[in-house]
Structure 1
Amino acid sequence: MAHHSRLSTLVLDCRVDDLAPHVAFWSAALSKAVASADEDGDGRYARLATAADEPVLLLQKVDHDSRIHLDIEADDVEAEVARLEKLGARRIEKRHAWWVMEAPSGHRFCVVRPQRTPPGPHLNRWD
């Protein structure tokens, strides 16, 4: 059965006590309005406004060193994870409904459920 995936989100992992000043910085630096200063109501996530054909820009409060990672959204998370494993990626940790993965290069990324609808023009189909 075919599944679909695409680049979904660029996540700015921020090792900070207070995310708000960093949201303000990236909002001004990228000229993107703050769409949500507290995405889940726990102070861990904030989202900048992006156009429908741009990746989501998410800031995430983390305990590890600051870095940027990307999310791949898929309509079948397990099928996408299996496809990426065949390419050399490995599973690191399952969190809620998504997987933290590691590319052969050592970069971490996540495979998540669809984040936006409609899926848009940049959707990949995998058979």
Structure 2
Amino acid sequence: MHKSRLSTLVIDCQVEDIEQANLFWEAALGMACNRSEEEWADRYSSLQTNESQPHILIQKVSHESRVHLDIETDNIDAEVKRLTELGAQVVKRLERWVVMQAPTGHRFCVVNPQRTDFDTASDVNQWPDND
């Protein structure tokens, strides 16, 4: 068995300066923005959400602006296999996550657990590992 759930809504922003996106989304959604540590501050930030809600990440990107989902899991390989069997395709495997595309054309990522309550939360799906 492995587990997974929606982890994060990622707002991909094709902007020169991520602060422009930070200020807009902070005001638009009425949520304080957490700027990243200095090493990542020019590419990533997040909005403050309750722990029971998915994270909202603001990410500076070079591709067109869009929103994508991150699915967190305790077994990336098993979750990628499950989603592939549902019709998704692997777009790119990276060191810490896998970029996938749904049959509908939407991009999403499969990532390690991001929310601190992943191991104890009641809203985590459990899936059989079909070998």
Regarding TM over 0.5, the answer is yes
Q: Distance in 1 between matches of 2:38 and 2:82?
A: 30
- Tell me which residue corresponds to 1:112: 111
Q: Distance in 1 between matches of 2:73 and 2:114?
A: 9
- Tell me which residue corresponds to 1:126: 127
SS of equivalent residue, structure 2 residue 103:
coil
SS of equivalent residue, structure 1 residue 22:
helix
Q: Distance in 2 between matches of 1:15 and 1:98?
A: 21
- Tell me which residue corresponds to 2:82: 83
Report the residue type matching 1:121 in the other structure: S
The Cα shift of 1:40 comes to 6.7
- After superposition, the CA RMSD in angstroms is 1.1
What is the TM-score of this pair, normalised by structure 2?
Answer: 0.91
- Tell me which residue corresponds to 1:11: 10
Unaligned runs of 5+ in 2: none
| 1:18-67 superposed Cα distances (whole Å, 9 cap, x missing partner) | 00021111011111111x21257231110110001111000111010000
Unaligned runs of 5+ in 1: none
What is the TM-score of this pair, normalised by structure 1?
Answer: 0.94
Query: How many pairs align?
Result: 125
Q: Is the 1:39–1:47 Cα contact (8 Å) retained in structure 2?
A: no
SS of equivalent residue, structure 1 residue 21:
helix
